[in-house]
A and B are shown apart, each in its own frame.
Chain A
Amino acid sequence: MQKLREFKLPNFFNYPPYFTLQPVRDTREKQIQLWKELIIDYCKTQKIFVIGIEDEFPLFTNTVIERSLTHEAREAFLSALVSEGRAEWMDKGRRKCLIFWHRIQDWADILLQFAKDNGLEDGVVTIEEIRFGTESQGTELQGIDRTILNRALKLLEQKGKLVVFKGTSTDDEGIKFSV
């Protein structure tokens, strides 16, 4: 649990019944809504892209009130995000979940903005540079999950805004913008 101190938790996180999946539909819907928002908010501020359902994810347990989400509840909340297009199961067994705290479309827009900000409208950049280069430092692209980046790139490629070309190894895979 590193550098998480600045995250402000909502009040419901301290109310025990929110850790049990509610049987009554209306109550459950509200519960799921609150958890969805919390998960997205948290992942966004902490730059988390993948949640393992059995992992010791800080949101899944509140040690102060001694409550922990059941597997069923975790799956229900993440599934709700998946059905909204805010997340995606990474395996059939639903053990890992990829969180889109920006939708793919928004990631694509961020990439285009990145290209504009760095005068790359017609330029070439490697994937490594986007993820860890000096240009992306301090931007949301820094450390972006590879799968999510690929999705956004594919979307832009379909729109003809860039071309992805393979290098000799995965490390020097690059893209050429044509914005």
Chain B
Amino acid sequence: MRRRPGIGGLQTAAAARDQYRLLGENVAKIRTDMMKEQLSTFRSQLEDFARKHKNDIRKNPAFRSQFHEMCAKVGVDPLASNKGFWAELLGIGDFYYELGVQIVDICLATRPLNGGLINLQELCNLLRQRRKSDRGVVSEDDCLRAISKLKVLGSGFEVISVGKKKLVRSVPTELNKDHNEILELAQGQGFVTVDQVERRLSWTSGRAIDALDTLLDDGLAMIDDGHKDGKRRYWFPCVSPISSLTGTDSL
């Protein structure tokens, strides 16, 4: 801008600045308005969708998992807070908090039996038995989601993969690689012997006994000296859930 001398020049410059500012504000306002409008449209669409499929979300675990995926894609976490429209609309937060509480309960109750390591499948079964009166089904995906929320509590709830199976750990014991390999081996028959571990994993006998003793001390394994062949078997309740055993029901 060409500089003009005098009071008039200063006044014009000030007026121009004001006008620029006004224009700038206008543009910004229009932008935010547009954004707000888009957001509210999006939100109302999402709400509409959620309202329309409320029952599906509640009752159908597969649908629920897809809904979560969709939310994750657009950056919405319906579980982030128990307040807000998700909770009000769906009670979906409550659903997972409830699951979380029940999962903690089951883990604590079965801890003396399995040493604090439980098969995800068994956990789900126990959860279903417990909620049988409740509407809707609980899928493994729901369990995993609820457990991931429990992590916030720092209580050491964690899902670990051993071989093909997923195990839920509710005790702070760290499983090292040796222990993991033994658990994986045990998935075949539910138990291992020292011989088997040495042979299949090509370990020295000291290493096998050491690892098995640790698992025993942690309450993750139980010994069985009753087999005909006289070889001690180490059973792992976390890989062969007691609730799914078949055998005699009555004498």
Contact = CB atoms under 8 A, between A and B. Distances in A.
B222 A17 contact: yes
Interface in A1-32: 1, 4-9, 11-20, 22-24, 26-27, 29-30
A8 B216 CA distance: 30
A67 interface: yes
B242 A16 contact: no
B223 A64 contact: no
Contact of A5 (B216, B227, B237, B250): B250
Interface residues of B, number: 26
A62 B248 contact: yes
Given A1-B251, A9-B250, A26 B219 contact: yes
Contacts of A23: 216, 223
A59 to B, nearest CB: 8
B248 A27 contact: no
Given A11-B242, A15-B242, A27 B247 contact: no
Interface in A41-68: 58-59, 62-68
Interface string B217-248: 10100111111100001010100001101111
Contact of A8 (B219, B222, B249): B249
B112 interface: yes
A130 to B, nearest CB: 29
Given A12-B242, A30-B113, A66-B228, A22 B247 contact: no
B112 A11 contact: no
Nearest to B225: A20
A173 B191 CA distance: 58
Given A12-B113, A70-B226, 19 more contacts: A4-B250, A4-B251, A7-B251, A8-B250, A11-B242, A11-B245, A12-B242, A14-B245, A14-B248, A16-B191, A16-B226, A17-B235, A18-B222, A20-B222, A23-B223, A30-B112, A63-B248, A66-B226, A68-B226
